[in-house]
Amino acid sequence: MHQARHRTGGSKWSIRPRSLAALAVATAGLAASIWLPGRNDAASASVSHPAFADDFAGTRGSALDLAKWSLDGDPGNSVQDGDGDLVVTRLLRTRQAFGQKYGHAEARIEASRETGAWRAFSVLDRYGRLIPGRLQTLRGGIDPTDGDGFHTYAIDWSPKAIVWSVDGHPSLRLLPDNAPDGIVLVLNLATDGADPVRMIVDFVHVSVFGRPGRLPSEPPSESPSVSPSPTPTPSRTTAPAAAPWKPFTDYKAGDLVTFGGSTYKVKEAHTSLPDWKPPAVPNLFQKVS
């Protein structure tokens, strides 16, 4: 019987901001790019608080906790195996957005897929969009992808950088164009196209530092222009035109898209990914015709 590989209470899976900086200093040439918080910032962010945990300890065949997770596709695409693991065959992301400036997330995962730590365990902004910025490879981008065993993926974030580690070794760093006002975590199941799309997850833990920032309820948008006319003329409202659905496209709530001969309405703002086709993600799209 497979034994779950949860870490014990004595494991040091939480990394303080200054420890993150020290870790980067140990990697040649990287110290200048990791931001070390000032004294006041460090004081406010020095205490770690558990913010999220799922050890998938349900009975064999039990469903994913959809209060914690948003699943791409039918609930049958994820199942707990009774040994402390989740077997998932579709993209998965946390429903909770983490608004703190500093945080540490860790997941233990087994999967065969394309290289790149962000393909196993990643982040989007709180609206489900890709975070724009410059992605750097650290120490060759260490990331075992053979699927023969579990590996521990960690993500540490600060206002200046998001750093991925694999089995304790820094692998990738994203320098965002602008600090996101909140992030969600993603288990994204990217594969090489030849291996089965299947991931086994032992646990996901998140700790944060300091108090959460204010999370806006809607994506930022430009303020509407004001008509200079004191008596605007009423006009007939025209329904927005539906455009063909495309991956890597920013969609806002209310947009209309077409796919497979049908029209869908966007329910939640997000940036589309290749697997997020409208019929497969009913939490993001509603079929209207």
Domain ranges of the chain: 17-209, 243-287
pLDDT digits (tens, 9 = 90+) for 254-274: 899 999 999 999 887 777 777
pLDDT digits (tens, 9 = 90+) for 38-47: 334 443 445 6
Q: Are strands 102-111 and 199-209 parallel, antiparallel or unpaired?
A: antiparallel
- Size of the chain, expressed as the number of residues it contains: 289
CA separation for the pair 1, 10 (Å, rounded): 25
Question: If one looks up domain 243-287 in CATH, what number appears?
Answer: 2.10.10.20
Determine contact, residues 195/145, Cβ cutoff 8 Å: no
Determine contact, residues 85/108, Cβ cutoff 8 Å: no
CA separation for the pair 35, 170 (Å, rounded): 15
Q: What is the pLDDT of residue 211?
A: 56
The number of CA neighbours under 13 Å toward the Cβ of 32 is: 2
> Does position 106 have pLDDT exceeding 50, yes or no?
yes
Three-class SS of residue 153? strand
Pick the CATH number of 17-209 from 1.50.10.20, 1.10.3720.10, 2.60.120.200, 3.30.470.20: 2.60.120.200
Three-class SS of residue 189? coil
Determine contact, residues 208/98, Cβ cutoff 8 Å: yes
Mean pLDDT, residues 266-287 taken together: 80
Residue of 250 and 204 predicted with greater confidence: 204
- In the numeric block, the tokens 């140990």 are attached to 26
pLDDT digits (tens, 9 = 90+) for 147-181: 889 999 999 999 999 999 999 999 999 999 999 88
pLDDT digits (tens, 9 = 90+) for 210-245: 655 444 444 444 433 333 444 444 444 455 688 999
Determine contact, residues 199/110, Cβ cutoff 8 Å: yes
Mean pLDDT, residues 139-148 taken together: 88
Q: State the pTM of this model.
A: 0.62
